[in-house]
């Protein structure tokens, strides 16, 4: 099952707000459709948002009625700004948009019809490269997973969150495929339940043994010696190795440190933001209060209650045992190891 697919009428997205109750694809045929799908989290997960945005820009190009390059380029830049204003934390969104805009600007000698083709090809390339990067992350990361390991993960960093295969779940998938007989514990991941709705579903589909727990149970399992390692994805990694990921990730990292359990982050290079010295400068998205006060439309808190709903947190680099990238396994000091993968 693919998270997204290109077809003649546009971009087909598996609507992740409906999973696991309903498996339904929606068709995005305009930039506005893609903007809406990202904002409402029909497509979510840092790499998947990036790929969807690239296709959004390609859709903007394909539907453009501009004849000259100047007005065509203006239209694409406006579309880029619309897509860039959807979700602030995952840097993959801006990475993919910048890559598309670089292609636009470095082909200024091409006519509009040819440019439409070039931009669509670039979006296809971003999708394929993302899947390949995840497979490489999987094969590097699986070396860190001992046979029989009991692995905790948080949120969904799987095929659903990427072009395919997944980052943290890519590591888990690769370890499973190599016959390591692992077991996964999935945090449910309130408020939007990406662990319960998506990770549990995705692993079940692939027959990877998974046990669902609520977020508050992780410490108890660790203390009982039931968790051997934790692996999570990332939305943005700063130059010093600080990691933004789904709210609750920091708590898991602190618990791992307390219990002497390795805590791994798995992410492609499109998630690394060398422009930010540390995690303090990462913008943390705050989402609507209803995500906390209601579950599947059912109100669970008193009317009018004050709510705080940050969607991500920052895990300081000192709590991270290793960062698994498509270019290899990085160890502290991350300032050095991250810089080295870009030379």
Piece of the chain touching ligand MRU by CB under 6 A; list 24-32, 230-238, 293-301, 327-335: 230-238
Residues 145-174, mask of contacts with ligand MRU (x by CB under 6 A): ----------x-x---xx----x-------
- Catalytic residue list contains 235: yes
Question: Quick check: 126 binds ligand MRU (CB under 6 A)?
Answer: no
Here's the x/- map for ligand MRU, 1-40, by CB under 6 A: it reads as: ----------------------------------------
Closer residue to ligand MRU, CB minimum distance, 46 or 152: 46
Residue (116 or 197) nearer to ligand MRU, CB: 197
Distance set, CA 291 to CA 12, 87, 294, 313 (Å): 25, 16, 6, 17
Q: Which of 187, 235, 273, 313 is catalytic?
A: 235
Contact between 256 and 262 (Cβ < 8 Å) = yes
Position closest to ligand MRU via CB: 233
Q: Contact 123/50 with Cβ under 8 angstroms? A: no
194 binds ligand MRU (CB under 6 A): yes
If one asks whether residue 199 binds ligand MRU (CB under 6 A), the answer comes out as: no
Residue 5 phi/psi, 5-degree rounding, is: -150, 140
Q: How many residues does the chain have?
A: 343
76 binds ligand MRU (CB under 6 A): no
Note whether 202 and 23 are within 8 A (CB): no
> Residue 317: in which H helix or E strand, if any?
none
Q: Detail the DSSP E strand segments found in the chain.
A: 4-7, 10-14, 25-28, 150-153, 183-187, 210-213, 229-232, 236-238, 243-246, 263-266, 272-273, 294-295, 298-299, 312-315, 322-325, 328-330
Active site residues per annotation: 235
Interface residues with ligand MRU (CB under 6 A) are 44-47, 90, 155, 157, 161-162, 167, 194, 233-235, 245-246, 311
């Amino acid at each position: 099952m693919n998270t997204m697919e290109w077809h003649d009428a546009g971009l087909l997205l598996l609507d992740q707000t409906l999973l696991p109750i309903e498996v339904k694809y929606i068709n995005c045929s305009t930039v506005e459709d893609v903007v809406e799908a990202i904002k409402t989290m029909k497509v979510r997960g840092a790499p998947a948002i990036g790929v969807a945005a690239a296709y959004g820009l390609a859709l903007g190009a394909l539907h453009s009625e501009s004849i000259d390059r100047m007005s065509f380029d203006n239209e694409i830049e406006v579309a880029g700004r619309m897509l860039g204003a959807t979700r602030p934390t995952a840097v993959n969104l801006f990475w993919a948009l910048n890559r598309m805009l670089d292609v636009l600007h470095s082909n200024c000698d091409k006519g509009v019809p040819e440019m439409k083709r070039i931009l669509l090809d670039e979006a296809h390339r971003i999708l394929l490269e993302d899947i390949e990067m995840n497979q490489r992350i999987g094969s590097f990361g699986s070396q860190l997973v001992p046979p029989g390991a009991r692995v905790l993960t948080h949120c969904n960093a799987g095929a659903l969150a990427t072009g395919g295969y997944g980052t943290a779940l890519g590591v888990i998938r690769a370890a499973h495929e190599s016959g390591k007989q692992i077991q996964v514990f999935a945090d449910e991941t309130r408020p939007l339940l990406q662990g319960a709705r998506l990770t549990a579903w995705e692993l079940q589909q692939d027959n990877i043994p998974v046990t669902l727990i609520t977020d508050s149970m992780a410490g108890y399992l660790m203390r009982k010696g039931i968790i051997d390692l934790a692996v999570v994805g990332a939305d943005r990694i700063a130059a010093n190795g600080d990691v933004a990921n789904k709210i609750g990730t920091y708590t898991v990292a602190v618990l791992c440190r307390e219990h002497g359990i390795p805590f791994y982050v798995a992410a492609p290079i499109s998630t690394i933001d060398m422009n930010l010295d540390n995690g303090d400068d990462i913008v943390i998205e705050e989402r609507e209060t209803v995500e906390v006060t209601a579950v599947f439309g059912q109100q669970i808190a008193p009317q009018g209650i004050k709510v705080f709903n940050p969607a991500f947190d920052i895990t300081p680099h000192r709590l991270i045992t290793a960062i698994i990238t498509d270019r290899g396994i990085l160890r502290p000091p991350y300032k050095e190891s991250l810089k080295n993968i870009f030379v």
